[in-house]
Structure 1
Amino acid sequence: MLAEHFVLIETIGLNLFFAFIFIFIGLSIHDIMKKNDVPKMGRYTVYFVLFLGCAGFIAKGIIQFIWESQGVG
């Protein structure tokens, strides 16, 4: 059974890994900005850029899922 579902398990594991990495990056950036008294506009800018990185991975996953379901990839 493991050999049959290896690709699915690998994909889920990789997606969870990226989610945890983004969470840890966000927490470390939050800690650094809190310790250095960064203004609110700077914090919003940093969080927006981090969100764009996450949104890029989410968009890639959605596009990949659509293409594979249509037989393109």
Structure 2
Amino acid sequence: MSLEQIELLESMGLKLFFVAIFLLIGLAIQDVLKRGNVPRFGRFIVWLVLFLGCAGFIAKGIIEAAWEGGGLG
């Protein structure tokens, strides 16, 4: 394997790891909200914050990819 292939594999592995972590966090939050009988508005706020965190992470990845593709990074 060349160095470029290893770097690509590491990059993809890290991204998949973060997807798995976000999924597990979501499942844990769902369980806590269900067991705690949290009101509907509270659940909405919790999921909104979680979604915005994920969206920010995804936007960061897209921006990095665009900058690297354009020769800025």
| Fold conserved between structures, TM > 0.5 | yes
What TM-score does the superposition give when structure 2 sets the normalisation length? 0.95
How does 1:1-73 map onto structure 2 within 5 Å? 1=1, 3-73=3-73
Give 1:18 shift: 0.5
Give 1:13 shift: 0.5
Runs in 1 of length 4+ with deviation above 2 angstroms? none
Structure 2 gap ranges (5+): none
Distance, in Å, in 2 between the alignment partners of 1:46 and 1:25 is: 12
RMSD of equivalent CA atoms: 0.9
Give 1:4 shift: 3.6
Distance, in Å, in 1 between the alignment partners of 2:12 and 2:2 is: 14
Structure 1 gap ranges (5+): none
Percent identity for Structure 1 against Structure 2: 56
Give 1:21 shift: 0.4
Distance, in Å, in 2 between the alignment partners of 1:66 and 1:3 is: 22
What TM-score does the superposition give when structure 1 sets the normalisation length? 0.95
| Counterpart residue identity of residue 61, structure 2 | G
